Amino acid sequence: MSTVRPTELGPLFNTFSVMARCHRTGRFGVGIATHAIAVASRCPYVKAHIGAVATQAHTDPRLGQTAIQLLEQGFSAPKVIKELVDSDPYIQHRQLGVVDRDGRCAAFTGSANGAWAGHVTAPGVVAMGNALVGERVVQAMLNAFQKADTEDLEERLVRAIEAGRDAGGQPNGQRSSGLLVHATDSYPWVDLRVDEHDEPIAELRRIFELYKPLREYFRARAARPDIGGEEEWLARHSAS
């Protein structure tokens, strides 16, 4: 399903993102990029076993926090979107996406978003953006995510925003990006950010490749601080 809002009625804000639930592992995550600095500090919200949310455009971070609270109470993704739309007097300046614990998805693109703005949804995933070069950006993100079905969720999210960039992204380019994924713990499985960079998605990929083999190490070290340092752990596990 897709929704398009091709009208520009206000200052230019531009962001594209993908949020999803992995049907194999139950992980939730968000991949995101924008022209503004530090996008990952304001827009993605994820909680293990609960859901994934992105709030962007003229974003209000309180909407993301409220969305997670509503999901915790058992609200479905469509119901969460309805509650947020009904409660915010500036909702036409927002763009929202939600994936709930059952993989149901919903999104909203306000009429005051900069053209091109819109979203597409499929089971377990929302791709959306505003002030983009065209609908092909969100469709490319969705296609890349679905094509990588056998990969880890975090890999699929990175591939999705890479595809959005390669499809044209934003007319004025991107400056920041982020990847936030929760598995089963109260803290993130992956939380990576690029806050000011000429090629933030490429830099996110570089950092992710460095972090990827250490995902399990940092999780294991929380319970077992005696497992040794990163290099020792990597050497031990690469040899096994």
Domain that holds residue 31: 2-239
What percent of the chain is predicted at pLDDT more than 70?
94
Residue range 108-136: mean pLDDT, rounded: 95
Report the alpha-carbon distance of residue 42 to residue 56 in Å, rounded: 8
CATH number at residue 165: 3.60.20.10
Give tens-digit pLDDT for 47-92: 999 999 999 999 999 999 999 999 999 999 999 999 999 999 999 9
Q: Side chain identity at 62, as an amino acid letter?
A: R
Cβ–Cβ < 8 Å for 227, 221: yes
Q: How many folded domains does the chain comprise?
A: 1
Report the alpha-carbon distance of residue 36 to residue 209 in Å, rounded: 24
What integer pLDDT is reported at residue 239 of this predicted model? 63
